[in-house]
Structure 1
Amino acid sequence: MAVQFLRKASVWLKKHKITLLAVSCVGLFGTNVSYHVFPEQTFKLLHECWSEGQPAELSQRLCGVFQDVLQDTNVKSTDSYRAFAASGFHPVSAGIPWLPAGSLVGIPPNFDGTAEDKTGIVKHVIVIDGKEVDWESNEGVALKEALTFSLEAQKFVLAREVVYLQNGSPLASAVVAPTCLAGTFFSGRAVKLLLGLSAGPVVLRSVCNIVTAAGGLLFYYVSYDAMTHHLDCKADRKAAMLSKDYARGGIEFYDKILARNRIFRGLMGKKGAKMYAPSGNLFPRYWFRVKYTPYTYRRDLIVNILRKLQA
């Protein structure tokens, strides 16, 4: 009975494989982009900052800074971009501006702190490796400094998130998986035709399919990481080129991100060594993948842009 069912399933798959491929590609694309199509129901719930059992509200100052950034980035419809208080240490974003749901940019509470007033940071409890950070210790003072950004740095990173969404980056990232799936399918068929395995033994065809699938998975990882690198650098470049102040803010932002990560590496012990490189970059070892664009590379990119703007 089971053998008969498998035979029928095999025949059905051969007959409808193109349709199944199309449905799979659309499903993959829809799954990847759903996070951005419904940001209120997905993204915001994951990243929203809470205070005393209620969603935290952004200060008037940060709302004003966000509006200034929207103006500087030439956003035509400011209603398409909304800010909210997010957990974490630096801004996050999601959404597609031209869709009804618009886009969301999450601004962390440490952005309320300024070089003149750091009290907004020390009000928050940070627990690392099971221990609460003592803001009066050497590490606490250094961390406080690394989490405090000037107005220029705040504007840069907010502009970077806005530009990232303006460029349609969520859609570009979502396209990678279905493209690689379709490419793997057609590559597999081409290889079998070239090797004359289309009507060959089942074992050889199975081996060919496994090798092709493994190659397709490897290609997906490399393509996705390359796309992430391209989109990150593109957003950084556009934000830094808005003005010299934005470029200086970008350099400061990445300098402090690197400093913060180095502090975390020391405070977290062995876990920190696995998560952060001595330079402050994320995940120093992850086989052949580079899942995150190195912060040192992004800083150097902005340094070169500032040199051009000053020339």
Structure 2
Amino acid sequence: MGAQFLQKASAWVKKRKTTLLAVSCMGLFGANLSYHVFPEQTFKLLHECWSDGQPAELSQRLCGVFHDVLQDTGVKSANSYRAFAASGFHPVSAGIPWLPAGSLVGIPPNFDSTIEDKKGIVNHVVVINGKEVDWESSEGVALREALTFSPEAQKFAIAREIVYLQNSSPLVNAAVAPTCLAGTYFGGIGIKILLGLYPGPMILRSICNFIIATTGLICYYVSYDAVTYHLDCKADRNVATISKDYARGGVEFYDKILSRNRILRTLMGKQGVKVYAPSGNLFPRHWFRIKHTPYTYRRDLIVNILRELQA
């Protein structure tokens, strides 16, 4: 009974291979993009900052900064981008500007702090390893300084998220998986034809299929990391070239991220050593993967742009 079912299922799959491939590719693309197509129902619920049991609201100052950044980045329709108060330490974003749902940019509470007024930080409880951060301790003071950005750095960080979405980066990222799947499928067919495996024993085809699938998976990881790396650097480059102020803000922004991560590495103990490198980068390498664009590289990229602008 089981053998008959497997034979029928195999025959059904063989007849509809192309249809199944198309559906799988569309499903992967849609699944990867759903986060950006419905940002209000997914992204915002995950990243929204809450205060006293209610969603926190952005201050008037940050709303003004956000609108200034929209103008500086050449956004024609301000309704395509909306800001909200996000948890975390730096801005986040999701959405596709030209879709009805538009795009969301989350701005963290520490962006409401200035060198003179630290209320955006010290008014919020930060818990690390189950312990509340004491803002008056040496580590707390250092962390507070690392989380306090100048207006130029704040504008760079927000503009980077807007430009990232303007570049259709979510669409490009979402296309990597279905492209690799289709490439693996058609590449496997071509290889088996070249090697003459179709008339041969099934075990040889099975071994070949396993090798092709493994190679396809590796290609997906490498391609995804390469595309992410390219899109991150492209967004940084585009924002840094707006003006010298934005470039200086970018250098400060990444310098303070690296400083913050070094402090968190100390506060988090063993877990911090696993997550953060001594330089302050997230540990980017995992076997053959580079899962995160190094912050040191992104800072150096903007330093070079600033030198060119000042020349």
Question: TM-score band (shorter)?
Answer: over 0.9
Q: Secondary structure at the match of 2:149?
A: coil
The 1:225–1:285 alpha-carbon spacing in structure 2 relative to 1, beyond 3 Å, is closer
The 1:284–1:168 alpha-carbon spacing in structure 2 relative to 1, beyond 3 Å, is closer
Amino acid at match of 1:134: D
**Which position in structure 2 is the counterpart of 1:52?**
52
Structure 1 residues 121-142: Cα deviation after superposition (integer angstroms, max 9, x where no partner): 1111111111111111110000
Runs of at least 5 residues in structure 1 that lack an aligned partner in the other structure? none
The 1:134–1:94 alpha-carbon spacing in structure 2 relative to 1, beyond 3 Å, is same
The alpha carbon displacement at 1:116 in A equals 1.4
CA distance in 2, matches of 1:220, 1:86: 31
Question: Does 1:170 find its partner at 2:155?
Answer: no
More displaced 10-residue stretch of structure 1: 27-36 or 192-201: 192-201
Cα contact 1:276–1:284 (8 A) shared by 2 = no
Q: How many residues end up aligned between the 2 structures?
A: 311
Structure 1 residues 130-187: Cα deviation after superposition (integer angstroms, max 9, x where no partner): 1111111110000000000000000001010000000000000000000000000011
Which aligned pairs between 1:122-133 and structure 2 lie closer than 5 A?
122-133=122-133
Amino acid at match of 2:128: I
Question: Does 1:160 find its partner at 2:160?
Answer: yes
The alpha carbon displacement at 1:284 in A equals 4.8
The alpha carbon displacement at 1:118 in A equals 1.1
**Which position in structure 1 is the counterpart of 2:261?**
261
Q: Secondary structure at the match of 1:39?
A: coil
CA distance in 2, matches of 1:284, 1:2: 46
Q: TM-score, normalised by structure 1?
A: 0.99
The alpha carbon displacement at 1:120 in A equals 2.0
RMSD (CA atoms): 0.7
Cα contact 1:254–1:295 (8 A) shared by 2 = yes
Cα contact 1:274–1:284 (8 A) shared by 2 = no
CA distance in 2, matches of 1:276, 1:69: 31
CA distance in 2, matches of 1:281, 1:270: 16
More displaced 10-residue stretch of structure 1: 80-89 or 127-136: 127-136
Q: Secondary structure at the match of 1:293?
A: coil
**Which position in structure 2 is the counterpart of 1:286?**
286
Identity of aligned residues (%): 79
**Which position in structure 1 is the counterpart of 2:219?**
219
CA distance in 2, matches of 1:269, 1:43: 30
CA distance in 2, matches of 1:262, 1:12: 56
Amino acid at match of 2:127: V
The alpha carbon displacement at 1:277 in A equals 0.3
Cα contact 1:87–1:108 (8 A) shared by 2 = yes
Structure 1 residues 8-41: Cα deviation after superposition (integer angstroms, max 9, x where no partner): 1111111110110000000000000011001000
Cα contact 1:275–1:284 (8 A) shared by 2 = no
Question: Does 1:303 find its partner at 2:303?
Answer: yes
After superposing on structure 2, the runs of 4+ consecutive aligned residues of structure 1 that deviate more than 3 Å are: none
Which aligned pairs between 1:225-236 and structure 2 lie closer than 5 A?
225-236=225-236
CA distance in 1, matches of 2:285, 2:162: 30
Amino acid at match of 2:181: L
CA distance in 2, matches of 1:216, 1:114: 49
CA distance in 2, matches of 1:266, 1:15: 58
Q: Secondary structure at the match of 1:160?
A: helix
Question: Does 1:196 find its partner at 2:196?
Answer: yes
Q: TM-score, normalised by structure 2?
A: 0.99
Runs of at least 5 residues in structure 2 that lack an aligned partner in the other structure? none
Which aligned pairs between 1:21-60 and structure 2 lie closer than 5 A?
21-60=21-60
CA distance in 1, matches of 2:220, 2:199: 28
Cα contact 2:284–2:294 (8 A) shared by 1 = no
Q: Secondary structure at the match of 1:281?
A: coil
CA distance in 2, matches of 1:298, 1:120: 26
**Which position in structure 1 is the counterpart of 2:277?**
277
